[in-house]
Amino acid sequence: MSTTDALLYSSDHTFKELIAHAQRYGFIYPSSEIYDGLQSIYDYGPYGVALKRNLQNFWWQSMTQLHQNIVGIDSAIMMHPTTWKASGHIDGFSDPMVDNKDSKKRYRVDLLIEEHAMQLVSQGKSNQSKGLMEAMERCLAAGDLPGLDELLQQFGIVCPLSKTADWTPVRQFNLMFSTQVGAQNDATTIYLRPETAQGIFVNFLNVQKTARMKIPFGIAQVGKAFRNEIVARQFTFRMREFEQMEMQFFIQPGTEKCWFDYWQENRKNWYSSLGIEQEKINIYPHKQLAHYATAAVDIEYAFPFGYKEVEGIHSRTDFDLTSHQHYAKKKLQYFDPDLKKSYIPYVIETSVGLDRLVLMLLSNALTKENNPVNEERTTSRTYLKLPPPLAPIKSAIFPLVNKDGLAEKALTLFDQLKYDFPLIYEATPSIGKRYARQDLIGTPYSITIDYQTLEDETVTIRERDSMRQYRIHMSEITHHLASTTSIKSLLLQLKK
């Protein structure tokens, strides 16, 4: 997606409003906030962790449960250091950076240039912007650092803080965090994994043999990854500690085009099942490919700050297994019983950031609405239109008033339903405020127990999005909630 296109998309809330909402209503907090936080590290609050787990479960089940030939693993964050030599991360996992001598601030050069290109577009200088982006891509592909120096000067790109162009030369900066294991005088330097994929590659034969997998098959993993991002901004979009959900699909060489297309289609459907409109998703094919890839696309979502990557799909050839075979001096081959020969499989990878998906869902869900009451008056309401199966709380249960046995009846219902659904019970007086609070955290249904319930065992259900209210019998509630709020209902969407 070009910078021009990125600017074309605007959403009905600003990014600042989204961040404020996430913090204020218990989704995401800055880490160690009482000490003023730690840059680019975040904690999830009660509703954030539930949303994240639901999303992770949906991904996990859609991979491992819906595909007979995909299994999961959970490998360690710390790995043998040679892993990162073999994967290319020690030599090549770096970003070009530059320091401004006046503000003493450090920037990632590609992001600095990209921002300048966006400004040029907003000034109506689209051609200049295009020229700048193309020149930058050429420099990045060729590893031409002096070329990047020149672009900064030629386009008069200044530091956003000091407003000067007094830059140090551009340098490469490795993004891996290192640490020491073992006694001090005998310590080994190891790295916190910058991606989960390598844990899958080094376990390729373990899994293939012990789970008796036949090619084509996949290995899925969810776990933390760490990158010392230079420019850590945009809230949880770019973090230093984050979670990835990756799946490596091992295939026969020569079938990579077909499987690359299959996984693109499969992943696009996954986003539709979350209710994301087609125009908010963009598939961006890479022009400059990583050293290991023969094809790559990014799945981008229209955030309030433009279309940005949430997932990458890469055709990785046999690069990783071949390299591990070389460094480990162990055969990492598969004997194909159909072809009656051994080979190193090719790999198609789908790699998505769980935190970016949470941010995408929050961004997609945050809705501000004005509802006319009569000709003079409108009321406004803010709510999170989360897919019900991912909502942190499935239903709130309210007694209409806190007397005459209504609270007891409501608590009995709560106790019956709590084994199947995460719920909230609330008995504060104002019904309007109760609804508003549930809207803000995205609870799809609110159930009120009133005097009629005592007579005929029916309750009022109020829907979050339509605000529609209707009565159903208490015996129907479990089925009603299960059919609309279970992960299964999302998995069934994938069938369509």
Q: Residues interacting with ligand ATP, by CB under 6 A?
A: 195, 227, 229, 238-239, 242, 244, 309-312, 351-353, 355-356
| HSE toward the beta carbon, residue 113, CA cutoff 13 A | 28
Closest CA to 319 of 296, 294, 341, 301: 294
In order, the DSSP letters of 473-492 are EGGGHHHHHHHHHSHHHHHH
What is the residue type of 62?
S
Closer residue to ligand ATP, CB minimum distance, 239 or 344? 239
Closest CA to 477 of 393, 409, 420, 398: 420
Q: Dihedral angle at the C-alpha atoms of 386, 391, 392, 394, nearest 10 degrees?
A: 140
Q: Give yes or no for a contact between 304 and 13, defined as CB atoms under 8 angstroms apart.
A: yes
Closer residue to ligand ATP, CB minimum distance, 235 or 445? 235
Closer residue to ligand ATP, CB minimum distance, 70 or 239? 239
Strands 306-317 and 295-303: antiparallel
Closer residue to ligand ATP, CB minimum distance, 197 or 366? 197
Closest CB 177 distance from ligand ATP, rounded Å: 12
Q: Tokens at residue 484, please? A: 């609309």
N-to-C CA span, the chain: 28
Most distant CA pair in the chain: distance in Å? 81
In 188-236, which ranges are E strands?
Answer: 188-191, 217-226
Closest CB 248 distance from ligand ATP, rounded Å: 13
Closer residue to ligand ATP, CB minimum distance, 181 or 283? 283
Closest CB 79 distance from ligand ATP, rounded Å: 17
Closest CB 194 distance from ligand ATP, rounded Å: 8
Closest CB 180 distance from ligand ATP, rounded Å: 24
Q: Which are the contacts of 223, defined by CB distance < 8 A and separation ≥ 6?
A: 74, 75, 77, 193, 196, 199, 243, 244
Closer residue to ligand ATP, CB minimum distance, 256 or 311? 311
Residue 51: other Cβ atoms inside 10 A: 27
Closest CB 331 distance from ligand ATP, rounded Å: 28
Closer residue to ligand ATP, CB minimum distance, 21 or 193? 193
Phi, psi at 23, each rounded to 5° = -75, -45
Closest CB 362 distance from ligand ATP, rounded Å: 14
Closest CB 84 distance from ligand ATP, rounded Å: 14
Residue linked to tokens 């390729």:
204
Closer residue to ligand ATP, CB minimum distance, 27 or 435? 27
Quote the distance between the C-alpha of residue 59 and its chain's center. 11
β-sheet bridge partners, residue 378: 372
Closest CA to 242 of 40, 78, 418, 105: 40
Closest CB 187 distance from ligand ATP, rounded Å: 27
Closer residue to ligand ATP, CB minimum distance, 54 or 244? 244
Cα–Cα distance for residue pair 462/400, rounded to 1 Å:
13
